């Protein structure tokens, strides 16, 4: 027994002795061995760390070499310096620069924005369509801008994986439920807008940009928050805050490291926090009223009655707000338990994106209508004819107003929400049918303005306002999406009293991209088109819209966007038709 237990200790001690040069004190020996072991482990850790860093860097270098090798096959202007073209291109002249590059090098062009940053621009509509179907991720900066301002969001993030589920829920909510109602936007929202117009008109005229912003805000607010929105005392402050944040959002998101040291940043964060508090306030108000109405209906235990009242505004937005609805949204329930913070982020994101883009579209329609009075008059005839046929006076059936819808589409075409659509594929190369391979890690952009105003896509009048390009006589549909000019010919065909002309689906033309396309296309497209058309049907039924008389004298012909920008801050007047 003794020898079997004592042997190993004896052996270790012997080893220590021989290893430590004959150390007599065994405690000292242990300490030396432990120190030795610690030193070895530390060395091993350092080696491991070194190997990991080397592997990481080697991986980066291999990726970079692959990027350079693959980018070599894509045509583009030679690099002027180590920094590539980034110094030459400012935000203002990027579209011009891309336009010149496409003219010289073809429909797919590469630009180096630095030694590691490759930008690929595509101008051919069919290659664009394919790319937008295959590339699912957006640039990390897109998600960062929303995250910085509104916190986590499962709708406005760069990775497709993160937004996929929520996109589908929102899409079906907007397209199936809201579009299925009698009027896409509620009459309370239209009344609220008209009241504001009348108040401003008492002072003489209306600022076109301000009124567009207010209209967009009212439509979005009513859609997301329901009737609570009209009685909410803080709506004006909310609108102001949203616009203040919009001015700076991209600037602060452009920092790679959050600029904690800048005072301006903290001011910006303060605005964002205020907006968040207000969003929570309206959500809680909606929830409270929802619970109240839910109790009343539950007492009656009449599901049919509930479904009917559920179709009124506000309750209809429950799924958007994330409130489970027992009868209507059974299938959505599993997705509705979002964290409070994320729900807030989604709502603020929708208000932000929806208000800015919809305001831009409304502003553009107003400007086009005041500068193309003949089209405004024809739309008015279209509205009155439809109203005569309609059983219900309040209902605006915009599906029977093709010229109005075509005007909305044409205004969207001529002034897209941003100059570029962007995508990136971080992990995989994008292999396109045309034989082009866009290497992983490259930023892919579509210069929307160029594509949407290109003669080869839209005919010789591509940069002119011509809603008739989206209309044709029944049976002559193919004319519209071909590369020909329609001005004049289609215009003669269109007579508002003649119901035999039809609106073509603008998305059939691959060059129609104001709402993007493919995997990350805008979820709100159908809703916005129908909602804005419904609003204009009500407005034009009540008012004639004109430029302010003094402005009319120095009115310039509308040729391109710069003229639009000139007019967009202008004063317009709404003249009541029955006066
Ligand atoms: C005139 C109004 C609008 C315009 C011009 C517009 C335009 C766009 C564009 C260009 C994109 C990017 C598409 C792409 O990269 O392919 C987008 C994305 C999006 N839009 Fe809109 N939008 C409008 C209104 C709305 C509204 C009212 C909502 C919802 C209430 C909405 C929800 C979204 C969402 C959720 C995305 C993000 C999709 C994603 O990243 O996966 N949009 N929109």
Give me the domains of the chain, ranges plus CATH numbers: 184-412+514-576 (1.10.630.10)
Q: Is 522 annotated as a binding residue?
A: yes
The C-alpha torsion from 20 through 21 and 24 to 30, rounded to 10°, is 0
Reported as a single tens digit per residue, the pLDDT across 87-135 is: 766 666 788 889 999 999 999 999 998 888 899 999 999 999 999 999 9
- How many angstroms separate the alpha carbon of residue 352 from the centre of ligand 1? 11
Q: Is 556 left (phi over 0), alpha (psi -120 to 50) or beta?
A: beta
Residue nearest atom 31 in ligand 1 by C-alpha distance: 524
> CB under 6 Å to ligand 1: residues?
132, 138, 155-156, 163, 167, 170, 350, 353-354, 357-358, 361, 417, 421, 514-517, 520-524, 528
Ligand 1 pocket, mutate which of 357, 522, 526 (most atoms under 8 A from CB): 522
Cα distances (Å, whole numbers) of residue 504 to 244, 448, 476, 507, 539 = 38, 21, 10, 9, 24
Please state, rounded to an integer, the average pLDDT across all residues of the chain: 81
Q: What share of the chain is helix, strand, coil (3-state, %, to 5)?
A: 60, 10, 30
Reported as a single tens digit per residue, the pLDDT across 427-437 is: 788 999 888 89
- How many angstroms separate the alpha carbon of residue 514 from the centre of ligand 1? 9
The 10 Å Cβ neighbour count of residue 314 is 24
Exposure b/e, 508-524, CB count within 10 A at least 16 = b: ebbbbbbbbbbbbbbbb
State the pLDDT confidence band at 558, using cuts at 50, 70 and 90: very low
Q: Give residue 457's pLDDT.
A: 94
Read off the pTM. 0.82
- How many angstroms separate the alpha carbon of residue 417 from the centre of ligand 1? 9
- Give the residue-averaged pLDDT of 530-536: 95
d(CA 273, CA 146): 13
- How many angstroms separate the alpha carbon of residue 508 from the centre of ligand 1? 19
Q: Give residue 38's pLDDT.
A: 94
Residue nearest atom 36 in ligand 1 by C-alpha distance: 522
- How many angstroms separate the alpha carbon of residue 353 from the centre of ligand 1? 7
Q: Give residue 443's pLDDT.
A: 93
* Atom from ligand 1 closest to the CA of residue 155: 35
DSSP 395: -
What stretch of H or E contains 420? strand 420-424
Q: Give residue 422's pLDDT.
A: 93
Report H helices in 311-447: 318-321, 340-371, 373-389, 402-414
Strand partners, 572: 206, 547
d(CA 166, CA 328): 17
Reported as a single tens digit per residue, the pLDDT across 319-361 is: 455 443 433 333 344 444 567 788 889 999 999 999 999 999 9
Reported as a single tens digit per residue, the pLDDT across 489-504 is: 445 545 544 556 789 9
| E strand spans, 79-175 | 108-112, 118-122
Residue nearest atom 4 in ligand 1 by C-alpha distance: 357
State the pLDDT confidence band at 537, using cuts at 50, 70 and 90: very high
d(CA 163, CA 521): 12
- Judge whether residue 282 has pLDDT over 80: yes
């Amino acid at each position: 027994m003794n020898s079997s237990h004592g042997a190993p200790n004896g052996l270790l001690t012997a080893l220590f002795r021989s290893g430590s040069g004959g150390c007599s004190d065994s405690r000292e020996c242990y300490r030396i061995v432990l120190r030795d072991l610690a030193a070895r482990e530390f060395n091993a850790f350092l080696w491991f760390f070194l190997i990991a860093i080397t592997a990481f860097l080697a991986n980066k270098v291999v990726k970079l070499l692959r990027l350079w090798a693959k980018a070599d096959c894509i045509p583009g202007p030679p690099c002027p310096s180590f920094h590539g073209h980034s110094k030459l291109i400012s935000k203002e002249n990027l579209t011009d620069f891309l336009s010149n590059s496409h003219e010289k090098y073809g429909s797919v062009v590469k630009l180096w924005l630095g030694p590691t940053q490759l930008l690929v621009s595509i101008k051919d509509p069919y290659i664009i369509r394919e790319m937008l179907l295959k590339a699912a991720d957006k640039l990390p900066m897109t998600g960062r801008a929303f995250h910085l301002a509104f916190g986590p969001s499962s709708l406005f993030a760069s990775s497709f994986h993160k937004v996929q589920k929520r996109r589908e829920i929102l899409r079906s909510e907007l397209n199936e439920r809201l579009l299925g109602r009698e009027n896409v936007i509620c009459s309370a929202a239209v009344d609220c807008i008209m009241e504001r117009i009348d108040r401003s008109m008492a002072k003489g005229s209306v600022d076109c940009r301000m009124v567009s912003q207010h209209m967009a805000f009212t439509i979005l607010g009513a859609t997301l928050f329901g009737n609570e929105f009209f009685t909410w005392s803080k709506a004006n402050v909310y609108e102001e805050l949203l616009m203040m944040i919009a001015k700076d959002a991209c600037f602060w998101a452009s920092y790679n490291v959050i600029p904690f040291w800048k005072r301006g940043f903290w001011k910006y964060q303060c605005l964002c926090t205020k907006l968040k508090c207000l969003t929570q306030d309206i959500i809680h108000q909606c929830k409270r009223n929802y619970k109240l109405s839910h109790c009343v209906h539950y007492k009656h235990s009449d599901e049919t009655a509930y479904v009917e009242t559920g179709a009124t505004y506000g309750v209809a937005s429950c799924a958007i707000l994330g409130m489970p609805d027992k009868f209507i949204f059974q299938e959505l329930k599993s997705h509705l338990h979002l964290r409070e913070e994320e729900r807030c982020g989604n709502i603020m994101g929708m208000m932000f994106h929806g208000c800015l883009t919809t305001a831009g579209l409304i502003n553009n329609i107003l400007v086009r209508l005041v500068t193309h009075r003949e089209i405004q008059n024809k739309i008015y005839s279209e509205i009155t004819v439809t109203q005569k046929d309609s059983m219900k006076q309040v209902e605006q059936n915009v599906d029977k107003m093709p010229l109005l819808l075509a005007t909305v589409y044409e205004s969207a075409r001529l002034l897209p929400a941003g100059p570029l659509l962007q995508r990136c594929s971080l992990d995989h190369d994008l292999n396109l049918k045309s034989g082009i391979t866009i290497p992983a890690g490259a930023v892919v952009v579509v210069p929307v303005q160029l594509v949407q105003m290109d003669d080869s896509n839209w005919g010789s009048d591509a940069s002119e306002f011509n809603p008739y390009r989206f209309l044709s006589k029944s049976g002559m549909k193919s004319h519209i999406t071909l590369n020909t000019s329609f001005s004049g010919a289609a215009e003669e065909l269109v007579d508002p009293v003649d119901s035999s002309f039809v609106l073509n689906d603008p998305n059939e033309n691959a060059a129609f991209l104001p709402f993007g396309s493919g995997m990350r296309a805008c979820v709100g497209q159908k809703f916005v088109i129908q909602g804005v058309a419904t609003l204009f049907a009500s407005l034009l039924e009540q008012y004639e819209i004109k430029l302010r008389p003094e402005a009319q004298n120095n009115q310039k012909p509308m040729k391109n966007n710069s003229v639009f920008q000139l007019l967009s801050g202008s004063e317009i007047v709404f003249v009541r038709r029955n006066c």
